[in-house]
Amino acid sequence: MKLENRVAVVTGAGRGIGKAIATRLALEGARVAVVDTESAYAEHLADKLIKSHHDALAVKADVSVWTDVERLFAEVETRFHTVHILVNNAGIRKDIPLHKMTDKDWDAVIRVQTQACFNCCRAAQKYMVAQKYGRIINISSPVPASLGERKQTAYAAANAAIDGFTRALALELGPSNVTVNAVAPDYIDTELLRNIVKEEGMYIDDYRRFATAQIPLRRMGTPEDVAGVVQFLASDDAAFVTGQVIQVKGGP
């Protein structure tokens, strides 16, 4: 097992990509804090991991709110004493054209994607710098961040910010042996994607056929496809990789 005796905090871990990441890190031996705004999701996964002899802690927290993040890290410190791995996965997406986007919509996307990333990195870095070891992995989104996407001004701005934040923090924390990377997935078949497809008035099976035709590997991605890359970056196999944005989207 590659992550034995490591403590990991995974945000938005109640379902989808975050759930697969938390599960993969636990299978590799990490003790995992399963963080989500939906306590039922977080508790369900933590119970499942504990029943299969892994160490896990469910924490209900809105990671876009600093006071929640302070409490989250206090709970993790009490239970696990430190933090080695932080995965900033929590995110929301709202596809709204600019002329219809309210301040509230804009703020919600920016806060959950970027403020949350800042909050958790600021809280986690103090443990990582002190122990001269840490792995931070931020989940962003490749297409909106680099090419833009219709109706995604907020989501694109937020994800481009995550990529820039990742590179800057990698420079800052490198001397403390803390790596900071981003994983940018696309076409991952999760609730988030299925909800957007529904809102657009498309049937999911039609969308899957359309998407599969665009993807060179000719299939949709799974949360486990993303979890494997995160696990690599969290492990000592990736000790000399930092400041990178790795795309997981079945094509270049």
Ligand X SMILES: NC(=O)c1ccc[n+]([C@@H]2O[C@H](COP(=O)([O-])OP(=O)(O)OC[C@H]3O[C@@H](n4cnc5c(N)ncnc54)[C@H](O)[C@@H]3O)[C@@H](O)[C@H]2O)c1
For ligand X, the binding residue among 14, 85, 114, 180 (CB under 6 A) is 14
Which residue type is seen at 96? Answer: I
Residue 41 touches ligand X, criterion: CB under 6 A: yes
Go through 101-140 and write b for each residue having 16 or more CB atoms within 10 A of its CB, e for each that does not. eeeeebeebbbbbbbbbbbbbebbbebbbeeebbbbbbbb
Residue 37 touches ligand X, criterion: CB under 6 A: yes
Q: State which of positions 187-206 bind ligand X (CB under 6 A).
A: 187-188, 190-193
Residue 17 touches ligand X, criterion: CB under 6 A: yes
CB of 225 vs ligand X, minimal distance in Å = 10
CB of 130 vs ligand X, minimal distance in Å = 25
Q: Where are the alpha helices (DSSP H) in 103-242?
A: 103-110, 116-131, 142-146, 153-173, 191-199, 204-214, 223-234
Q: State which of positions 116-135 bind ligand X (CB under 6 A).
A: 116
Coil, helix or strand at residue 231: helix
Considering only 34-42, 96-104, 117-125, 171-179, which stretch makes contact with ligand X by CB under 6 A? 34-42
Residue 225 touches ligand X, criterion: CB under 6 A: no
Q: Which residues lie across from 100 on neighbouring strands?
A: none
Catalytic residue among 127, 155, 187, 207: 155
List, as one string, the DSSP characters of 9-51: EEETTTSHHHHHHHHHHHHTT-EEEEEES-HHHHHHHHHHHHH
Q: State which of positions 166-185 bind ligand X (CB under 6 A).
A: 185
For ligand X, the binding residue among 10, 49, 112, 123 (CB under 6 A) is 112
Burial class of 100 by CB neighbour count within 10 A (0 to 12, 13 to 18, 19+): exposed
Considering only 58-66, 146-154, 163-171, 231-239, which stretch makes contact with ligand X by CB under 6 A? 58-66
Q: In angstroms, how far apart are the furthest CA atoms of the chain?
A: 51
* Closest to 170 (Cα-Cα) out of 100, 224, 220, 245: 245
Residue 22 touches ligand X, criterion: CB under 6 A: no
Cα 102 from Cα 242, distance rounded (Å): 36
Considering only 6-14, 78-86, 120-128, 228-236, which stretch makes contact with ligand X by CB under 6 A? 6-14
* Closest to 220 (Cα-Cα) out of 202, 241, 240, 193: 193
Residue with tokens 């962003």: 140
Nearer to ligand X, 93 or 133 (CB): 93
Residue 11 touches ligand X, criterion: CB under 6 A: yes
Residue 242 touches ligand X, criterion: CB under 6 A: no
For ligand X, the binding residue among 25, 96, 123, 139 (CB under 6 A) is 139
Active site residue 155: yes
The residues carrying an active-site annotation are 155
Contact residues: ligand X, CB under 6 A: 11-12, 14-18, 35-38, 41, 62-64, 89-93, 112, 116, 139, 141, 185-188, 190-193
